Amino acid sequence: NAGVTQTPKFQVLKTGQSMTLQCAQDMNHNSMYWYRQDPGMGLRLIYYSASEGTTDKGEVPNGYNVSRLNKREFSLRLESAAPSQTSVYFCASSGGQGIKPQHFGDGTRLSIL
């Protein structure tokens, strides 16, 4: 069972380069999320998509854009990478009624030099 799949798993960029992190889920979930996790900061929500066709800002959206391509896929784009965006990025999805825990992908470790 794939669950939530993120690509790539590791990436090194130079300051100013752009890249897109990909995320796909096969659980037919409506909601998808992008987080970053930094030492001592916990996970912080960057953007989320409550349903196909909608996206909303989270706690730390600056410097990022997202696209909910279809129900399965939710991508995160860094247009001009900065060293402050060095982090571990997690994609998650959730679905169903009532309490909705989230299922996470393996993460993308991104370093910006």
Partner 1 sequence: RKEVEQDPGPFNVPEGATVAFNCTYSNSASQSFFWYRQDCRKEPKLLMSVYSSGNEDGRFTAQLNRASQYISLLIRDSKLSDSATYLCVVSDNAGNMLTFGGGTRLMVKP
Query: Would you state the structure tokens that stand for residue 35, as one six-digit string?
Result: 């987080």
Question: By CB under 8 A, is residue 99 in contact with partner 1?
Answer: yes
For residue 59, the minimal CB distance to partner 1 (Å) is: 8
Nearer to partner 1, 63 or 107 (CB): 107
CB 33 within 8 A of CB 43: no
Q: Which of 45, 52, 63, 67 binds partner 1 (CB under 8 A)?
A: 45
Q: Which of 14, 40, 53, 62 binds partner 1 (CB under 8 A)?
A: 40
Nearer to partner 1, 73 or 106 (CB): 106
Rounded Cα gap, residues 108 and 11, in angstroms: 8
DSSP letter string over 9-53? SEEEE-TT--EEEEEEESS--SEEEEEEEETTTEEEEEEEESSTT
Q: Which of 8, 18, 20, 41 binds partner 1 (CB under 8 A)?
A: 41
Nearer to partner 1, 87 or 94 (CB): 94
Tokens 């196909």 appear where? 52
In angstroms, the Cα distances linking 24 to 16, 38, 89 are: 26, 23, 14
Residue ranges that bind partner 1, judged by CB under 8 A: 31, 33, 35, 40-45, 48, 50, 56, 58, 90, 94, 99-107
